[in-house]
Amino acid sequence: MARAAKRAATYDDLLKAPDHFIAEIVDGELFTSPRPALRHATASSALGALLGSAFMFGHGGPGGWWILFEPELHLEADVLVPDLAGWRRERMPEVPDEAWCDIAPDWVCEVVSPSTGRLDRVRKMPKYAVQGVLHLWLVDPGVRTLEGYRLEQRRWSLIATHGDDDVSLIRAEPFDAIELDLRLLWGLAAPSSKPRAARGRPSKKRL
């Protein structure tokens, strides 16, 4: 006996998800993930604060970006919610006055957890590649690593993995104009006054 075709999830289905869940649609399938544990939230909050200060507001960094927390992305038929996303302002001069954005970011960051790691790696990463997102980070607070990927010929190329064996201050594309202290993401250090800009590079503030 033939099975009836499974109905593709709609945006109305997404809106019916409980408020304490993050809802996404990938290939017509609805995924709901519980709000992250505090270790996950610490990493995403710290990273957003560091990048936002330097790249959205130009404090100790070049500015020129929008850095948004959990934006709802409408990318063709898919609805994706990365932990963080960034757009260069020359591509998106203003943040849309909507609850969602249909402009693919220049950079996304997924803070992975045991419950979301497979979705992030297997289902969402290929979607970001198809949409032309140029840079992607996977941050894992459980093992304290940051993986940086660059899009090359529509495929993700791992360019660096930073972890506990590294010096805590790192530079990672596309935000390598400053040094990031990974200990801040894991809640292991107090923040310094300002991020350090790259030596020999002029710091241009663009708002």
Per-residue pLDDT of the chain (207 residues; tens, 9 = 90+): 344 447 899 999 999 999 889 999 999 999 999 888 899 999 999 999 999 999 999 999 999 999 999 999 999 999 999 999 999 999 999 999 999 999 999 999 999 988 889 999 999 999 999 999 999 999 999 999 999 999 999 999 999 999 866 567 999 999 999 999 999 999 987 666 555 555 554 444 433
Inter-residue contact 148 to 77 (CB < 8 Å): no
Strands 65-69 and 29-34: unpaired
In this prediction, residue 202 carries a pLDDT of 44
Quick: pLDDT tens for 52-81: 999 999 999 999 999 999 999 999 999 999
In this prediction, residue 35 carries a pLDDT of 83
For residue 146, what are the β-bridge partners? 139, 162
> Domain boundaries in the chain?
37-185
Pick the CATH number of 37-185 from 3.90.1570.10, 3.30.565.10, 1.10.10.10, 3.40.50.970: 3.90.1570.10
* Measured distance CA(134)–CA(70) in Å, rounded: 18
Strands 155-162 and 169-170: unpaired
In this prediction, residue 203 carries a pLDDT of 43
Inter-residue contact 21 to 33 (CB < 8 Å): yes
Reply yes or no: is the peptide bond before residue 174 cis, omega within 30 of 0.
yes
In this prediction, residue 194 carries a pLDDT of 54
In this prediction, residue 207 carries a pLDDT of 38
